[in-house]
A and B are shown apart, each in its own frame.
Chain A
């Protein structure tokens, strides 16, 4: 048993928890004997191991596997996945012209992108959707929560520490309030929180198990549902009389009992996560309070069941926690989870590649929940870098013989459109000029700072991103797959925003394009800027025909740009 589970007196316990979370590092393991340490140093990196397992899982893999994607494809794909937007035409040409050997070039690109401030923003979007599932809720303002998430990513905080902070949060202290959004903007409805703790952090949707053992999923039992509920049931929403803010209080009593609607058998459980050991209350803490719950005071028990949740969640024994996050991060990078749907993992719906899932989970633990490391390793795999599958070879067997299409998220779409059309460049230039005017002395340095650039551009264009989110965001949380509605198509077809950005002006994309006399040059600049690749001969011919057929060069420019920007090739990450 981990030392954290021992029966400390309550105060020491709470303090210990706080200290542990703030430390963000594990106590150093005991020093290894010389020979083991030596073995440790020459361990192979993760990514080839993944590829080996993927290959081994499917007979004939080598035969059916698509070749690795082209440099152009990789350049665009990596930019989208790691920075949330497409690269520029200029950057693309430079990458393609670079003579460095492919593997080295790609690895260097990955490092560059991971170090960019845009990586933190991209992961903020991903994790926000994963955890808050696009819920509206204003107990914790979105901006505060998102800033906290983003800085956690930028600092590459251990994932287990981030989750522990979320699950330990009560919203009482302003400084720690952002992390409480998970609880508070679900109004801490116990059923909803119980289910979402299971779905989002453990990869299991226990909704059915609220009423009975799942009729056909052997692994989902009623006691699983109530085991999670038992951590939460004593907590409640308390509104601070002065600040009017909602936060969590907790009672020091209350047990969780359940009856099956099928068998009428009664059960009782202490807090426990799935099949981990139960966590009984220590002796003598029933009805023992640090602060008694009253109308004007939120209850703080001597022993908090809720604070056991983060500890249990991130404990080494909790394999499901690791498996869930690696599955979700795999889905982000590869376009499909090893377990699908992402929150329905059980014995009869196992991972398509169980060894890969186990490997990723074990390695994440060994690497101290380093998310950036894992993303890097995934990006370095051949699996990630494969070209698109030919025909339907991928569909049934999920062998990863070819890369999956990934629909751009609303945020990726928004930024890609703004970057491609030139909105971003122009906005940034304007903001730079503004700052330089106000602060000529330190302005230069400031405006050259990539972090300043990212934050400034984000704040300036957030309203546009929000419009895309409103139009393109699907229901609920992280999902793979693709859904499309007529509303979205109308937005792309006729929406004023897009049409405005296509109007040639001030050196934006269409402005540059319309000035190119030669249609071959036009086609090259168009394809490179919008689709990040050179056009094939047929494509150049098609563009040429179009330009010849349409006398109004401005109109033709906007139409062609529009067509590429609303095409499937742009809409998907491939």
Chain B
């Protein structure tokens, strides 16, 4: 199995020599560490990230890179979009009228057909090693000084518990919300009054102060206290988290689970969330690829566009980076079950919002869609692009004491034609 050759693991940086070099000298060579001033700047111009993950590997043929009438094109046609010359599959009619707010990339080569590897590469921007996900990195550098919500919320029901924050602080790990129901244990126990809850929490805080006071390893107690802080934030947003979508919202977004999750995503973003990720199942269509993409994209198209519209309507589009992506694409060849199988060699995604030039098509695949023919990029380049767009220098080192780890893979760079 071939892998990307840009191999930069945490252990490179953890080498004892590198360890000690992870100071000014080392940092300068890598592009500097984010200074508190830079961080402040980011925080005052509050930005946020919305990720819509279409799980399973959506078909580029049936979405952003249609090849109608060709050998592998399948039965669907392409339609015009609000961007002259940019054609997408007929299964996305609502998106088609909004493509002037988004851009697409058609030339992603992930060099893997494996769900796990593809997903991790798309999330970490590196295909080996323990690195934080896009969401955790964005959470860390975009979160305001006193967030009212956990900084990285992932609205999904699936069990994958990923180590999303790697070496970043625990508070920037993804917090999973089922979306169609609120997290467990949000409610204060029946017999516990508000007053009782407060006084016992105060007493506990005093205990912790005495325990950590002046002694080593305060980081542990900080992390522990931070999690209680997060919990309190969630409890204070109980209403938001447990709210039933209005009739109007259900009509626009759809009453299916994905619709409900996107309503919650919108509410969270509008109420101070920094990073929100919503997952839509499922696109791994080894059988009945066309029927299933009809169904899934039918759900996705309108719902996503309502979310996009609402973000724009509240003036947040310029400050919210929006990603529509998957772990890979699907094979040109249509199998005997009318399905398409895994395909990492030419993958598409959509990107828009903060710092992204809209209406751009990056790259191309050949006539039959069997390989990238122009401007090949991978998840490492995309990773750089997201953060450049958000105003975070991906060549800088992470702001993590004692470690010298660049935010983006040093072997990659931003896709400049996407950046404003």
Contact = CB atoms under 8 A, between A and B. Distances in A.
Chains A and B in contact, CB within 8 Å:
yes
Interface string A448-467: 00000000000000000000
Contacts of A404: 217
A405 B212 CA distance: 11
Interface in B143-178: 150, 161-163, 170, 173, 175-176
A491 B212 CA distance: 23
A409 to B, nearest CB: 14
Contact of A486 (B14, B175, B220): B175
B163 A475 contact: yes
A389 B207 CA distance: 18
A177 B122 CA distance: 38
A487 B184 contact: yes
Contact of A484 (B150, B162, B199, B223): B223
B7 A211 contact: yes
B186 A494 contact: yes
B271 interface: no
Interface in B13-66: 14-18
Interface in B221-264: 221, 223-228, 230-231, 233-235
Contacts of A546: 199, 203
A12 interface: no
A78 B163 CA distance: 31
B183 interface: yes
B12 interface: yes
Nearest to A494: B185
A562 B200 contact: yes
A348 interface: yes
B337 interface: no
Q: Give the one of B162, B199, B207 with max A CB within 10 A.
A: B207
A559 B189 CA distance: 12
Given A560-B200, A566-B204, A568-B211, A348 B228 contact: no
Interface string A533-574: 000001100100010011000010001101110111101100
B207 A563 contact: yes
Given A482-B223, A485-B170, A486-B231, A389 B216 contact: yes
A391 B211 CA distance: 12
Interface string B374-404: 0000000000000000000000000000100
Contacts of A349: 11, 14-16
A215 B7 contact: yes
Given A348-B17, A494-B185, A488 B227 contact: yes
A389 B215 contact: yes
Interface residues of A, number: 69
Contacts of A495: 184-185
Interface string A392-404: 1111100000101
Nearest to A220: B11
Contacts of B192: 499
A77 interface: no
A493 B228 contact: yes
Interface string A485-512: 1111111111110010000000000000
Contacts of A432: none
Contact of A572 (B5, B183, B214, B220): B220
Interface in B314-348: none
Contacts of B350: none
Contact of A489 (B12, B206, B220, B227): B227
Nearest to B159: A136
Interface string B77-98: 0000000000000000000000
Contacts of A490: 183-186, 231, 234-235
Given A484-B227, A499-B189, A555-B196, A564 B217 contact: no
Contacts of A261: 2-3, 5
12 contacts: A191-B1, A210-B1, A215-B12, A217-B15, A344-B14, A482-B170, A484-B224, A486-B231, A487-B175, A493-B235, A495-B184, A563-B207
Minimum-distance CB pairs A-B, first 4: A389-B216, A486-B230, A489-B231, A348-B15
Interface of B: 1-3, 5, 7, 9, 11-12, 14-18, 128-129, 150, 161-163, 170, 173, 175-176, 183-189, 191-192, 196, 199-201, 203-204, 206-208, 210-212, 214-221, 223-228, 230-231, 233-235, 402
Given A486-B227, A493-B188, A569-B211, 12 more contacts: A348-B17, A389-B217, A391-B216, A476-B163, A483-B223, A486-B175, A489-B227, A494-B186, A555-B191, A562-B200, A567-B211, A568-B212
